[in-house]
Amino acid sequence: MIIKKSSNRLLFRQNDSIRHPHLIYCLVVIAIGAMLLTGLSGCQTQRSVTDSTFSAWEQVIENGRDQEVTILMWGGNDSINQYMDNFVASHLKEQYGIILKRVPMNAPEFIIKLLNEKKASVETGSADLLWINAENFRTARQGNLLWGPITTFMPNLSTYYDAEAADLNFDTGIPIEGYEAIWGRAQLVLTYDAARTADVPTSFAEMLEWARQNPGRLTYPKLPDDFVGTAFVRTAYYELTGQTDAFQKTMTRDEFLSLSQPVIDYFKELAPFLWREGTAYPATQAQLDDLFKNGEVDMTMGFEVGKTAGLVETGVYPDTVRTMVFDTGTIGNAHYLAVPYNAPQKAAALLAIDFLQSPLAQIEKMKPDVWGDMPALDVRRLSEPMQLELAELEAGQVSLSLQELTDHRLPEMQSQYIDWIKEIWTEKIGGQ
C-alpha cells in the first residue's frame, strides 16, 4: 500500500502491482476471508483502514479510535520505557481509546522481520509503528517496507514544526519524502565533574594535549557496535579534516579513506594516553558511565542531553557534574517514527504519531527525570506558557540550553559514511 498526495488529501490506494489478475484474485480471497471472520466474531471492533481515503484529519480520528497500536522499539532504557508505558499510553487511551503495546526490539531485528514478511507477501503484519532512523531507515526504504507518505497534513507537525528544517527532510542524507515523522533530536554531549576537572578540553586538539597530561583518565566506547563511540569518532572528522559540507555529499570509499587520514593519525596518537593505554575500550556507553561514576575516568559522553541532570537530581552523580560540547561542535541527529507497509491499524498509528509530536509529549520527554530527549519542534511556535516551561527546564546549571546546543550542532553524515567509519576504525585504529 502507498499514499499519494493530492492537494490537501491523503489518498490511500493499492500498489500498481495489483493490476495483475492473479494478485487481484488473491486479494479478493483475502478480503472475503476477512469479511467472514468479522461476521463470525460478533463483538469484533477492529477496522481496516488500508483501503480508505482520508480527506480530513477527522476521518483519521474516526478510523483510528479504540484500536490497539503496537510499536516496535529499542527497549534498553528504563526511563524511555516508563515514558511510553505510563505517560504516552495513558494519554492515548484518554484521548482516543487507543491501547499502546510496546514491544522491545532492536531496529535491525524488526527490519529483518519486515523483509521476511515482504518476501512472504504478508499483507497484515503485527506492528503498527517503528522507532527508526539512519541506516535502518535506508534499508527500509530500499526494501519498500514503509507505508507513506504519512506526514502530509498531521496537525501538530504542521503547527509546531519547521517544515524547512534539514532533519525533517533528510535522515543522514537520505530523503525522507514523508515516510517517517520526526520524534526527537539528540546531540553528543560530554559530561565531566568540575570538582576534579577544572581545565576541561574544548576541542579535539585540546583533548589530545589534556590526555597527554592526564594519562589513563580518558576513553570512549568501542566501535563498531556502540553508537555513542561511533558518534564521538565521526564528530572528530569535522574538526580534524576542516570539512563540513563534504560529509553530506557523495564520495567514493577511496576518497573517504583519503579524507580520513588526519582522523586515523589523531586517534592512533591519542590511544597510548587513554584508559588502559588504549588496549581496551568500554564496550558500551553504560560501561563508560560506570567508569566515570567510579572515578576511573574523568569524562563520559552520550546523546541524552538531559540525562546527566537527571542523574545529578537523583544523587547518582554529585552536584558538581556538568555537561559540555566542544567549541568546534558535536554531531547532532534526529530519530523518527514510521509505519510498516503492512500495519493493521494505520489510522491509529497516525494518531499516536501526532500525539508524540505534540508540545505536551515533547516537553514531557525533555524533562531530565523522564528521558532528557531534545524536542524536535520549533520552540518559537509554542505558546508563551509552554516557552516558559521550557525555559525552566533549561535553567539548571547542569544541562546546556537548547540554544547553546543548536549553536554547536554539526550536521549528521550520510549513513554510508557511518558504516565506513566503523570499518576504518576497526581496521586502522582499534586493531593496532
Instruction: Indicate if the pLDDT at residue 37 is higher than 80.
Output: no
Range 395-413 burial, b when 16+ CB lie within 10 A, else e = eeebbbebeebeebbbbbb
CA neighbours closer than 13 Å in the CB half-sphere of residue 297: 26
Residue 311 — very low, low, confident or very high, per pLDDT cuts 50/70/90? confident
Question: Can you tell me the mean pLDDT for 70-74?
Answer: 96
Instruction: Indicate if the pLDDT at residue 392 is higher than 90.
Output: no
Residue 173 neighbours by CB under 8 Å, 6+ apart: 248, 412, 413, 414, 415, 416
CA neighbours closer than 13 Å in the CB half-sphere of residue 285: 18
Instruction: Indicate if the pLDDT at residue 113 is higher than 70.
Output: yes
CA dist., res. 63 & res. 72, Å (int): 22
For the chain, how long is the longest CA-to-CA vector?
76
pLDDT tens-digit series, residues 38-49: 333 333 333 333
Strand 68-73 to strand 99-104: parallel, antiparallel, or no bridges (unpaired)?
parallel
Question: Can you tell me the mean pLDDT for 62-75?
Answer: 96
What is the percent of the chain with per-residue pLDDT over 90, rounded to a whole number?
A: 69
What integer best gives the mean pLDDT of the chain?
Answer: 86
Question: Residue 275 corresponds to which cell in the numbers above?
Answer: 584508559
Closest CA to 179 of 340, 302, 300: 340
Q: Distances in Å between the alpha carbon of 19 and those of 117, 276, 339?
A: 21, 63, 24
**For residue 393, which amino acid is it?**
L
Question: Can you tell me the mean pLDDT for 189-197?
Answer: 95
Q: Whole-model pTM?
A: 0.76
SS3 content of the chain, % helix, strand, coil (to 5): 50, 15, 35
Residue 30 — very low, low, confident or very high, per pLDDT cuts 50/70/90? very low
Which residue would you say has higher pLDDT here, 172 or 329?
329
Closest CA to 106 of 85, 80, 76, 129: 76
Residue 6 — very low, low, confident or very high, per pLDDT cuts 50/70/90? very low
Question: Can you tell me the mean pLDDT for 319-345?
Answer: 95
Question: Residue 69 corresponds to which cell in the numbers above?
Answer: 497500536
Q: What's the confidence (pLDDT) of residue 309?
A: 84
Question: Residue 395 corresponds to which cell in the numbers above?
Answer: 535553567
**For residue 86, which amino acid is it?**
N
